[in-house]
Chain A
Amino acid sequence: GIQVEQSPPDLILQEGANSTLRCNFSDSVNNLQWFHQNPWGQLINLFYIPSGTKQNGRLSATTVATERYSLLYISSSQTTDSGVYFCAVDSSGTYKYIFGTGTRLKVLA
């Protein structure tokens, strides 16, 4: 089955810094999402982005499907950005999403 790798596994930033999170996948995908899991366990959808670029405030994402990767950019990070960021991919178009292992982000005040 498809493999999903996220990097880096852990990231510590000072408030105000920028960061780039990467998601590599081993096969072509039909659907791709980015999620943020907050310290209380709630998963929040950030982007549905099977291809192209999207922006939402301080966050933006780019998926280059032909090269099998997606990037999540966080600018001017805040302590509330702390948590785990997951990408999830569906390679079969059947909504069977495979999650990466996540990037654990800690933003220091």
Chain B
Amino acid sequence: KAGVTQTPRYLIKTRGQQVTLSCSPISGHRSVSWYQQTPGQGLQFLFEYFSETQRNKGNFPGRFSGRQFSNSRSEMNVSTLELGDSALYLCASSLGLPDTQYFGPGTRLTVL
């Protein structure tokens, strides 16, 4: 089975722009979670989707949003980028039961 894929792998944006990141889960997995990793804050939960529904959301401003499509692929969007949004964005998929999560390689976003 192919693993979790994320595109793009690297991205450079300027303050005020918006960005969309994509995540394709492992085939058959219906849960997709997103995380932000920074040196200062570590790994922080953004949101989790299951069958196109957001089931949980972390403590991030409304500029961070996401969605999941019927094929379980997920996108996250960050609007009005700030310097502090520079981070490694990771997505993870699982079957949806309390179970093992499998992570993608991440998208490294740099905001200038």
Residues of chain A having any CB pair with chain B under 8 Å:
30-31, 33, 35, 40-45, 48, 50, 86, 88, 90, 93-99, 101-102
Interface SS of chain B: helix, strand, loop or mixed? Answer: strand
With both chains docked as a complex, state the minimum distance between the C-beta of A2 and any C-beta of chain B, in angstroms.
Answer: 12
Interface string of B96-112 (1 = CB under 8 A from A): 00111111011010000
Could you say which of A48, A86, A93 contacts B100, with CB atoms under 8 Å apart? A48
Residues 54-101 of B at the A interface (beta carbon under 8 Å): 55-56, 58, 88, 90, 92, 94, 98-101
Could you say which of B56, B88, B92 contacts A96, with CB atoms under 8 Å apart? B56
- Contacts A30-B98, A101-B42; is A95 near B55 (CB within 8 Å)? yes
* A-B pairs with lowest CB-CB distance, top 4: A99-B43, A43-B103, A48-B100, A94-B56
Q: How far is the CA of A14 from the CA of B43 in the complex (A)?
A: 28
Report chain B residues within 8 Å CB of A45: 100-103
Cβ contacts A to B, 21 pairs, < 8 Å:
A33-B100, A33-B101, A40-B105, A41-B88, A42-B105, A43-B103, A45-B101, A45-B103, A48-B99, A48-B100, A50-B98, A94-B48, A94-B56, A95-B56, A95-B98, A96-B45, A96-B58, A97-B33, A97-B101, A98-B45, A101-B42
What 4 new A-B contacts, CB under 8 Å, besides A44-B103, A45-B101, A45-B102?
A94-B56, A96-B56, A99-B35, A101-B42
Q: Would you call B31 an interface residue if the criterion is a C-beta within 8 Å of the partner chain's C-beta atoms?
A: yes
Q: How far is the CA of A88 from the CA of B103 in the complex (A)?
A: 13
Residues of chain B having any CB pair with chain A under 8 Å:
31, 33, 35, 42-45, 48, 55-56, 58, 88, 90, 92, 94, 98-103, 105-106, 108
Q: Total contacts A to B, CB within 8 angstroms?
A: 53
Using CB atoms, name the residue of chain B closest to A93: B98
Q: How far is the CA of A41 from the CA of B43 in the complex (A)?
A: 12
A43/B58 in contact, CB under 8 A: no
With both chains docked as a complex, state the minimum distance between the C-beta of B9 and any C-beta of chain A, in angstroms.
Answer: 10
Using CB atoms, name the residue of chain A closest to B31: A95
